[in-house]
């Protein structure tokens, strides 16, 4: 249930209609409240308020008409600017970043402010009566509501000034990369926090290797085509406890599954009831696209996509790619310093209930570095910065196997660079590889190496 709510919330926050719709509804309710309680408000709260402008029906109608007409015009222009900015950003950084721009709170609140002001004025305008000598109707002017429309208009001007600053700032390359990079770091922290829950036996005893025979287990198949967006581990733990068995997962968030493909196994020999199969499948939430909620590889691939586009011949912007490498290196440092997660979840009595599938350290490091390495090898600046990023990770207290993986990536970079770079640049890469090998061999040399070589300290 919680995962379903998370999926709905992510879909809402990534849409342009949700926040503006809520703001528009709030403006309508506010207008109804102020107009229906006009006499109560004016006699109780605003009776002695000299600042409250007392307007005639004709003047109030003019004020409301001007504000409403201005707001709907500004809203149209704002929407056009937003669409143009989104089109530019997606063509520059990649179409998968469209969700990031659509979930931008600044754009949503700006559109919501202008639309809300327009609807507020419209709702107040319809309540005005009188101002004609021959009509015979009693003048009705909700003075507090009219004054509120002026306040809404002034606030909208402030939002417009903010929006003019926000649009160029939101498509600035450094800000786009930093947003994705920070989101990746936050997702990694959440992933490891979530993975560490229930991974140790309550008694503190060492976890022994688990052997199971899938031939005597019940396979559970998917009835959908799409990407796995969420996996509800608590629901699976509860289901395994009810069955007094264990569940082994074959998929994780970010995987694409087809109908009848295997989602996992229940380690029991008896056939499962249709209700149990439905509950099992309900723990997997899927969609037509990958999301960043539980899929850390998707966020890393967004950084790689920006770097790849920046290093393409049509763009030729190595410094944007170097910025992506910096944030990717930060995520590598987080993963490299964490313990490997085997995915074994135990209940309160120490019984194995779930073997989840997580992104391993080796998969995260090797896949992401291998994908960006082929692009970095085509540019001297990016290739040298690639070595600097590896050096900063090697300076961290990482395991020996991680050091070996990083050195292999540096070696493969040199081999790829031989096809694109001149001999002098390749020799410079080899010199940096020698320094990286020295750091990997003896961690006591770290501080002296950073002092002697500026590029290890983050200067490129």
Q: Does 311 share its domain with 444? A: yes
| pLDDT, position 50 | 54
Q: Does 158 share its domain with 305? A: no
- Mean pLDDT over 112-120 rounds to 94
Q: Where are the beta strands (DSSP E) in 225-326?
A: 226-231, 247-249, 256-257, 262-266, 284-287
Question: Is 99 within a domain?
Answer: yes
pLDDT, greater one: 44 or 416: 416
Q: Does 300 share its domain with 434? A: yes
C-alpha span between 34 and 148 (Å, rounded): 9
| pLDDT, position 458 | 62
The strands making up 284-287's β-sheet, listed across from edge to edge, are 256-257, 226-231, 284-287
| pLDDT, position 25 | 95
Sequential DSSP letters for 163-207: HHHHHHHHT-HHHHHHHHHHHHHHHHHHHHHHHTTT-S-TT-PPP
Question: Is 235 within a domain?
Answer: no
Question: Is 10 within a domain?
Answer: yes
Q: Does 29 share its domain with 166? A: yes
Question: Is 283 within a domain?
Answer: no
Question: Is 46 within a domain?
Answer: yes
Helix intervals (H) in 197-295: 233-243, 274-282
pLDDT at 439 over 70: yes
**Over pLDDT 90: what percentage of the chain?**
37
pLDDT, greater one: 375 or 11: 375
C-alpha span between 227 and 258 (Å, rounded): 9
Number of folded domains in the chain?
2
Least confident among 104-108, 204-208, 236-240 = 204-208
- CA-nearest of 379, 402, 237 to 321 is 379
Question: Is 409 within a domain?
Answer: yes
Contact between 66 and 117 under an 8 Å Cβ cutoff? The reply is no
C-alpha span between 127 and 37 (Å, rounded): 12
Q: Does 446 share its domain with 313? A: yes
| pLDDT, position 388 | 93
Q: Looking at 171, 192, 221, which one is the last position of a domain?
A: 171
| pLDDT, position 24 | 94
Mean pLDDT estimate for the chain? 83
- The domain containing residue 16 runs over which residues? 2-129+140-171
| pLDDT, position 205 | 46
* CA terminus-to-terminus distance, the chain: 47
Task: Give residue-wise pLDDT tens across range 209-237.
Answer: 455 666 678 888 888 899 998 888 888 88
Confidence band (pLDDT; 50, 70, 90) for 116? very high
pTM: 0.82
Task: Give residue-wise pLDDT tens across range 263-321.
Answer: 888 888 777 888 888 888 888 888 888 888 788 899 999 999 999 999 998 888 999 99
pLDDT at 86 over 50: yes
Q: Does 167 share its domain with 314? A: no
Contact between 312 and 166 under an 8 Å Cβ cutoff? The reply is no
| pLDDT, position 6 | 64
Q: Does 323 share its domain with 453? A: yes
Question: Is 158 within a domain?
Answer: yes
Q: Is the dihedral of CA 130, 143, 25, 114 positive or negative?
A: positive
Backbone angles phi, psi at 409, to 5 degrees: -65, -40
C-alpha span between 170 and 167 (Å, rounded): 5
C-alpha span between 350 and 344 (Å, rounded): 11
pLDDT at 48 over 80: no
- Mean pLDDT over 99-110 rounds to 84
C-alpha span between 41 and 38 (Å, rounded): 5
Tell me the Ramachandran region of residue 204: left when phi exceeds 0, alpha when psi lies from -120 to 50, beta otherwise: left
Confidence band (pLDDT; 50, 70, 90) for 178? very high
Contact between 34 and 145 under an 8 Å Cβ cutoff? The reply is yes
Q: Does 166 share its domain with 25? A: yes
pLDDT, greater one: 377 or 260: 377
- Mean pLDDT over 85-97 rounds to 82
pLDDT at 174 over 80: yes
> What does the angle CA 164 – CA 166 – CA 170 come to, to the nearest 5 degrees?
135
Confidence band (pLDDT; 50, 70, 90) for 208? very low
Task: Give residue-wise pLDDT tens across range 339-355.
Answer: 877 778 888 777 888 88
**SS3 state of residue 56:** coil
Question: Is 12 within a domain?
Answer: yes
């Amino acid at each position: 249930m919680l995962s379903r709510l998370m999926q709905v919330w992510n879909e809402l926050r990534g849409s342009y209609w949700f926040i503006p719709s809520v703001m528009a509804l709030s403006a309508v309710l506010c207008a109804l409240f102020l107009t229906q309680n006009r006499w109560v408000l004016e006699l109780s709260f605003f009776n002695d308020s000299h600042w409250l402008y007392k307007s005639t029906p004709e003047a109030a109608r003019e004020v409301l008409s001007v504000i409403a007409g201005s707001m709907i015009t500004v809203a149209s222009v704002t929407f056009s600017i937003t669409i143009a900015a989104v089109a530019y950003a997606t063509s520059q950084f990649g179409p998968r970043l469209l969700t990031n721009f659509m979930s931008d709170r600044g754009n949503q609140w700006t559109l919501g402010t202008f639309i809300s002001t327009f609807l507020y004025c419209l709702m107040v305008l319809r309540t005005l009566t009188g101002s004609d000598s021959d009509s015979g109707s009693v003048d009705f002017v909700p003075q507090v509501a009219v004054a509120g429309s002026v306040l809404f208009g002034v606030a909208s001007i402030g939002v417009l000034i903010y929006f003019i600053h926000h649009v160029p700032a939101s498509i600035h390359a450094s800000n786009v990369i930093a947003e994705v990079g920070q989101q990746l770091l936050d997702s990694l922290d959440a992933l490891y926090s979530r993975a560490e829950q229930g991974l140790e036996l309550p008694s503190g005893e060492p976890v022994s290797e688990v052997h199971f025979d899938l031939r005597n287990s019940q396979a559970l198949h998917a009835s959908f085509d799409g990407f796995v967006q969420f996996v509800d581990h608590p629901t699976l733990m509860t289901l395994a406890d009810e069955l007094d068995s264990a569940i082994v997962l074959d998929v994780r968030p970010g995987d694409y599954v087809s109908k009848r493909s295997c989602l996992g196994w229940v380690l029991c020999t008896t056939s499962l009831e249709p209700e149990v199969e439905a509950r099992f499948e309900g723990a997997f939430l899927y969609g037509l696209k990958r999301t960043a909620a539980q899929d850390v590889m998707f966020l890393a691939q967004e950084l790689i996509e920006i770097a790849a586009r920046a290093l393409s011949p049509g763009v030729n912007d190595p410094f944007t790619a170097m910025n992506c490498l910096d944030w990717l290196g930060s995520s590598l440092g987080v993963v490299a310093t964490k313990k490997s997660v085997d995915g074994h979840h135990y209940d309160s009595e120490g019984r194995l209930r779930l073997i989840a599938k997580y992104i391993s350290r080796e998969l995260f490091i090797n896949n992401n570095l291998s994908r960006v390495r082929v692009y970095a090898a085509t540019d001297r600046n990016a290739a040298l910065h690639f070595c600097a990023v590896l050096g900063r990770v090697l300076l961290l207290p990482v395991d020996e196997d991680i050091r070996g993986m990083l050195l292999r990536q540096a070696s493969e970079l040199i081999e790829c660079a031989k096809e694109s770079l001149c001999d002098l640049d390749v020799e410079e890469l080899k010199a940096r590889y020698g320094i990286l090998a020295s750091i990997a061999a003896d961690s006591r040399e770290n501080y002296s190496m950073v002092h002697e070589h500026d590029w290890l300290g983050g200067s490129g």
